[in-house]
């Protein structure tokens, strides 16, 4: 282990893992809520929409909050078919009304049967619980045989060799617990130690510059390599270094890819 590099990353993680980080980050949207289900619903949706300018992501996620009358869980549980008409004009980049309506349908069907979205990601008997959980959630999300084919591009899983950046970021939000209060830590059945790094072009570039990622392609193998190296710095909470890597990368360009 490179102790100087660990010390540098620890310092940068502490710098960005701070409540001042929230206001300009998409995580600010679920931070408007205290009910776990509200946090889960708008948290997942915000994470899925997280590409492009951060300001635009936040505005679009807040638009969804307004369309759900400011109460995501209550709206999901109780809305009628005619209430979905208001979402027909919602779009963000390639995320269109067809995708929006399918998300509403999935959420409503799911929460009529389950109390928390956490259950959809839990694979307790797997040696790779997060990998299995991501694949399981993908299969569950598209288990409706009438799901729109175009919506598939908005969700990823390790089985497709994707980095799963947005969904790994969502898991970080839900699972990590510390005293800083940026991440929510509202889930208890997935360990912080098992989380995988949310890898995008910025994080990948910074990691390669620091010598902790050698793979040139951003894919699931790169996620495994980088996460493994971060565990050598902190085996119990390796993804705290997402704050450091993301912070170093985003300072270069305020855009998510």
Q: Each residue of 128-162: pLDDT tens digit? A: 999 999 999 999 999 999 999 999 999 999 999 99
What's the chain's average pLDDT? Answer: 95
From its phi and psi, is residue 41 left (phi > 0), alpha (psi between -120 and 50) or beta? alpha
Percentage of the chain modeled with pLDDT above 70: 97
Q: Is the pLDDT of residue 1 over 70?
A: no
Backbone φ, ψ for residue 53 (5° rounding) = -70, 135
54-58 contacts at long range (C-beta below 8 A, 24 or more positions apart): 54/24, 54/25, 54/26, 54/254, 54/255, 54/256, 55/24, 56/92, 57/26, 57/92, 57/256, 58/25, 58/26, 58/28, 58/29
Q: Is the pLDDT of residue 221 over 70?
A: yes
Q: Is the pLDDT of residue 257 over 70?
A: no
Q: Is the pLDDT of residue 216 over 80?
A: yes
Look at residue 174 in the predicted model and tell me its pLDDT.
98
**Separation of alpha carbons 210 and 9, rounded Å:** 10
Look at residue 40 in the predicted model and tell me its pLDDT.
98
Tokens found for residue 57 = 């992501």
In the block, residue with structure tokens 């995580």: 27
Q: How far is CA 235 from CA 52, 94, 162, 244, 252, in A?
A: 32, 37, 24, 16, 28
Q: Is the pLDDT of residue 13 over 60?
A: yes
Percentage of the chain modeled with pLDDT above 90: 91
Q: Are strands 52-53 and 255-256 parallel, antiparallel or unpaired?
A: antiparallel
For the segment 85-131, what is each residue's pLDDT rounded down to a tens digit?
999 999 999 999 999 999 999 999 999 999 999 999 998 778 899 99
Look at residue 255 in the predicted model and tell me its pLDDT.
42
256 pLDDT band, cuts 50/70/90, is very low
Mean pLDDT, to the nearest integer, of 152-181? 97
Output the pTM of the full model. Answer: 0.95
Mean pLDDT, to the nearest integer, of 173-200? 97
**Separation of alpha carbons 177 and 179, rounded Å:** 7
Look at residue 124 in the predicted model and tell me its pLDDT.
74
251 pLDDT band, cuts 50/70/90, is low
Look at residue 81 in the predicted model and tell me its pLDDT.
95
Helix (H) or strand (E) holding 256: strand 255-256
Q: How far is CA 166 from CA 85, 191, 200, in A?
A: 27, 18, 9
């Amino acid at each position: 282990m490179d102790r100087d590099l660990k010390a540098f990353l620890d310092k940068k993680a502490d710098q960005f893992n701070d409540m001042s980080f929230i206001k300009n980050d998409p995580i600010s949207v679920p931070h408007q809520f205290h009910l776990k289900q509200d946090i889960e619903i708008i948290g997942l949706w915000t994470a899925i929409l997280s590409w492009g300018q951060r300001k635009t992501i936040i505005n679009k996620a807040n638009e969804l909050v307004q369309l759900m009358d400011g109460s995501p869980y209550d709206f999901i549980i109780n809305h009628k078919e005619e209430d979905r008409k208001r979402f027909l004009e919602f779009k963000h980049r390639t995320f269109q009304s067809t995708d929006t309506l399918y998300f509403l349908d999935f959420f409503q069907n799911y929460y009529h049967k389950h109390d928390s979205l956490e259950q959809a990601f839990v694979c307790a008997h797997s040696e790779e619980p997060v990998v299995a959980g991501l694949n399981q959630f993908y299969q569950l999300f598209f288990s409706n045989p009438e799901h729109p084919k175009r919506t598939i591009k908005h969700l990823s899983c390790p089985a497709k060799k994707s980095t799963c950046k947005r969904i790994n970021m969502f898991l970080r939000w839900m699972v990590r617990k510390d005293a800083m209060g940026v991440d929510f830590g509202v889930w208890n059945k997935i360990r912080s130690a098992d989380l995988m790094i949310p890898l995008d072009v910025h994080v990948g570039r910074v990691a390669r510059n620091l010598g902790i990622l050698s793979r040139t392609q951003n894919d699931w193998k790169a996620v495994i390599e980088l996460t493994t190296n971060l565990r050598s710095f902190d085996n119990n909470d390796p993804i705290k270094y997402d704050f450091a890597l993301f912070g170093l990368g985003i300072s270069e360009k305020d855009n998510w890819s």
